[in-house]
């Protein structure tokens, strides 16, 4: 099946710094990617939809200025957590549907564990 990678797998940063997380589709092109956040012992919550060549769309309650999304190519979406604070510590997971818009199946990345000190 299709493969989605994320980098880094883990990151620890100081409060106030910015962190960039990459999501790549390795063997297919993805015009759309989704970013989810998972707090400890909780479920996944959709944060935003990343669209290649256009602005991301954010779910209600997600601060677009804090979570910057850039979908610069058909295989790469980045999520930048700006001025990170301890409450941003979470597991961030991206997903991408396969080509031809078959959204009834999505491929998930392995996730990025962010810890803000």
Residues of this chain that bind another protein (CB under 8 A): 6, 32, 34, 36, 42-46, 49, 91, 93, 95, 97, 103-106, 108-111, 113
Angle at 19 between CA 56 and CA 112, to 5 degrees: 80
Using alpha carbons, select from 20, 16, 35 the residue that is nearest to residue 84.
Answer: 16
Q: Closer CB to another protein, residue 34 or residue 67?
A: 34
Nearer to another protein, 58 or 80 (CB): 58
Question: Shortest distance, CB of residue 52 to another protein, whole angstroms?
Answer: 14
CA atoms within 13 A on the CB side of 5: 8
Provide, rounded to whole angstroms, the least separation between the CB of residue 11 and another protein.
13
């Amino acid at each position: 099946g299709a493969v989605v990678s994320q980098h880094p797998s883990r990151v620890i940063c100081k409060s106030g710094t910015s962190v960039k997380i990459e999501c790549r589709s390795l063997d297919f092109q993805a015009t759309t990617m989704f970013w989810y956040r998972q707090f400890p012992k909780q479920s996944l919550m959709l944060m935003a939809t990343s669209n290649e060549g256009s602005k991301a769309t954010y779910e209600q309650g997600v601060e677009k200025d804090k979570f910057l999304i850039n979908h610069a190519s058909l295989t790469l979406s980045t999520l930048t957590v700006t001025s990170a604070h301890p409450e941003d510590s979470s597991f961030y997971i991206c997903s991408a549907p396969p080509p031809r818009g078959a959204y009834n199946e999505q491929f998930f990345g392995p996730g990025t564990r962010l810890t803000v000190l």
